[in-house]
Amino acid sequence: MVTNSSLHYQILKHIIDYGFAPANEKLAELLNASVKEVEDGLYQLAEYHGVVLHPHAPKVWVIHPFALTATNFLVKSDKGEWWGNCAWCSLGVAALLNEDVSITTSYGAHGEPVTIHITNGEVQEKDLVIHFPIPMKEAWDNVIYTCTTMLVFKNEEQIDNWCKRHHISKGDVQPIANVWAFAKKWYGNHLHPEWTKWTGDEAKQIFKDFGLTHPVWNLEATAKRF
């Protein structure tokens, strides 16, 4: 049966197992449905903010925390490798894999490489910070753009220089260890067969639980999906 939950689960499981999203024909086979039912379901899942499709076709482009096209974040484990959309998403990939991983990226996407290691459930490079410049209430206006701006930096001074260079307003700056803890909670139910999106109310509470109080994290109270 094609539901938001069943589609989401089968897509994520396939990406983790094989490194790429299943074709719609494969999803139809897995869900005992027609390709048309799968395609209709993908459009519904996209409206639910559970997947991002290619602009002109029912084909998975992004299913958070995974990207299906090349990004500035490569997550590797002994079992395989995957692209993350951003710093937050890449930590989310690590949380879903639940094993030792490395995340290869570059500071501010400017070319100087850095590798983040998560070993025995702990981030090893605890001095790094992550910048969140886009207000969460605007995140889904262009979620691809939002994700591409959530980057890793050495320190706040480097963020200040980056913001000035790219004429992007400075947002919230968080230590990577806190974002790692946050990502584990945020993506904690993503592989559940009965997954549902966090509501706006639930998201607000999670932000509060992890000390995310900067105006960037402000959301309107709502029982609708984030």
| H/E run at residue 76 | strand 73-77
User: Mean pLDDT across the stretch 118-133?
Assistant: 99
- The 10s digit of each residue's pLDDT in 152-177 is 999 999 999 999 999 999 999 999 99
| H/E run at residue 118 | strand 113-119
**Domains of the chain listed by start with CATH number:** 4-63 (1.10.10), 104-217 (no CATH)
CA distance 42 to 48: 10
User: Mean pLDDT across the stretch 207-214?
Assistant: 98
pLDDT value of position 200: 96
Averaged pLDDT score across all residues of the chain:
98
Measured torsion, CA atoms of residues 185, 136, 174, 76, in degrees rounded to the nearest 10:
60
pLDDT value of position 203: 98
**DSSP letter string over 15-64?**
HHHHSSPPPHHHHHHHHT--HHHHHHHHHHHHHTTS-EE-TTSS-EEEET
Q: What angle do CA 125, 126, 127 make, to 5 degrees?
A: 95
pTM check: above 0.75: yes
For the cut 90, the answer to whether the pLDDT of residue 221 exceeds it is: no
User: Mean pLDDT across the stretch 103-127?
Assistant: 98
User: Mean pLDDT across the stretch 30-40?
Assistant: 98
